[in-house]
Amino acid sequence: MYKPVNLSTDIYYVGVNDRKTSLFENMWPLDKGVSYNSYVIADEKVAIIDTVEAGQFEKWLAKVRAILNGRNVDYLVVNHMEPDHSGAIRILTELYPEMEIIGNKKTIPMIEGYYGITENCKLVKEGDSIELGNNKLSFYQVPMVHWPESMVCFEENNQILFSSDAFGSFGTLDGGIFDDELDFDSYIDEMRRYYSNIVGKYGNPVQKALQKLGGLNIKMIAPSHGPIYRENIERMIKMYDQWSKYEGEEGVVIAYASMYGNTEEMAEVTARAIAEEGIKNIKVYDVSKTHPSYIISDIFKYKGLILGSPTYSNELHPNMESLALKIQHMGISNHYYGVLGSFTWAGAAAKKLNVVAETLKWEVVAEAVEEKHALKADKYEACRELGKAMAEKLKA
């Protein structure tokens, strides 16, 4: 039994929710789960757009079969090879041996590499299309959104963009599947956490993809994770544009590591000084308590960042070192920056945290504040000055 979910007359949603997996890519917490979206076009020809993670195969296949009602599958479109979408390819080829697998020149070798499949692969390039009857799918390459082979397809007659990872979100679809069936705003934090941590490194490729797809008259965006958009299309595109340009809002993230509370106190004093200057969006995080994916999501949201760490065996506190490296690897640009640190016998943390700004060419709002032992009056005041300088920049 399955009541189909239609995007249009011949196009169906056959995605599944995953509330069991704890970590996406075995890294990113899935507190609200995730959906693996897949679509069936049952026209004169039958096409499936992407599959699901292997463990979700049974649930997914039941939906697909309910739609197909005994028909064969003509095409499997592989927009993206990451196994959360390609995990059911091999078993699907065994069930439908005549099915052609559609991918680009980077997809096809990956299909062989991951699944040993070399037959019935149909190569498509930029602008190619396939006719299914009433529906016609055209293909556009969007390399590095999220992998080199990533592509999207556009159904011309219903003007639906099957956007793969682009415009995806963490969070299961709890009844509502389309954005006008659910509380869109309640998904925004998980959209941004998904974007920033999974695709965020690739701001330039996202910009290129937005420009390329900007010429299409899109009535619906059907991504591979999260809600399908038919009401908030412009809003989604605008958010993606801002995130991929690293255009943060007025606000600041203060992320610190602290063993015995001294660096934490510096963070508190700095946060208070920022608030006194009228900045309301101040997010203070202990990196040993909050998973970095949430901190990084807010770093994408806000223009200001202050990192604080004690010196630990002449290095950064390991949890701050991990966050600082992640930020550098992601190549986040366009931020105002400040540094806090404390030490007991030799200070090294501030110098190491300064490297983040050098690497990413961020504007440093004030000299790093580094205290020996507990916080005392002059460094207390220096923290306040750092906070004021950050607030001034944010308000400018």
Distance in Å, CB of 103 to ligand FEO, minimum: 15
x/- map, 165-184, ligand FEO, by CB under 6 A: x-------------------
Nearest to 81 by CA among 46, 117, 47, 45: 117
Strand-strand pairing, 302-312 and 160-164: unpaired
Instruction: Name the percent of the chain in helix, strand, coil, to the closest 5.
Output: 40, 25, 35
Is residue 57 within 8 A of residue 48, CB to CB? The reply is no
Place of tokens 């090294």: 348
Q: What are the DSSP calls for 215-273, one per residue?
A: TS--SEEEESSSPBBSSSHHHHHHHHHHHHTT--EEEEEEEE--SSSHHHHHHHHHHHH
Q: How far apart are CA 211 and CA 225, in angstroms?
A: 22
Q: Is position 146 an interface residue for ligand FEO (rule: CB under 6 A)?
A: yes
* Interacting residues with ligand FEO between 63 and 92 (CB under 6 A): 80, 82, 84-85
Specify the residue, 81 or 99, whose C-beta has the smaller distance to ligand FEO: 81
Nearest to 177 by CA among 394, 15, 358: 15
Residues 6+ apart with CB under 8 A from 152: 79, 139, 140, 142, 161, 162, 163, 164, 166, 209, 213
Instruction: Enumerate residues 272-331 that contact ligand FEO by CB under 6 A.
Output: none
Q: Would you say 197 or 342 has its CB closer to ligand FEO? A: 197
Whose Cβ is closer to ligand FEO: residue 152's or residue 386's? Answer: 152
Smallest distance, Å, CB 301 to ligand FEO? 22
Residue 172 or 224: the one with the smaller Cβ distance to ligand FEO is 224
Query: Whole-number minimum distance, CB 225 to ligand FEO, in Å?
Result: 6
Q: Tokens at residue 364, please?
A: 């440093």
- 141, 197, 224, 309: which one binds ligand FEO (CB under 6 A): 224
Cβ nearer to ligand FEO, comparing 7 with 142: 142
Which of 225, 301, 317, 335 contacts ligand FEO by CB under 6 A? Answer: 225
- Print the SS3 string covering 193-212: HHHHHHHHHHHHHHHHHHHH
Q: Does 371 bind ligand FEO (CB under 6 A)?
A: no
The residue at minimum Cβ distance from ligand FEO is 82
Least separation in angstroms between CB 334 and ligand FEO: 25
Q: How far is the CB of 115 from ligand FEO (least distance, A)?
A: 16
- As measured in angstroms, the least distance from the Cβ of 280 to ligand FEO is 34
| Count of residues interacting with ligand FEO (CB under 6 A) | 8
Q: How far is CA 196 from the centre of its chain?
A: 4
Q: Is 163 in the site for ligand FEO (CB under 6 A)?
A: no
Least separation in angstroms between residue 25's CB and ligand FEO is 8
Contacts with ligand FEO, residue ranges (CB under 6 A): 80, 82, 84-85, 146, 165, 224-225
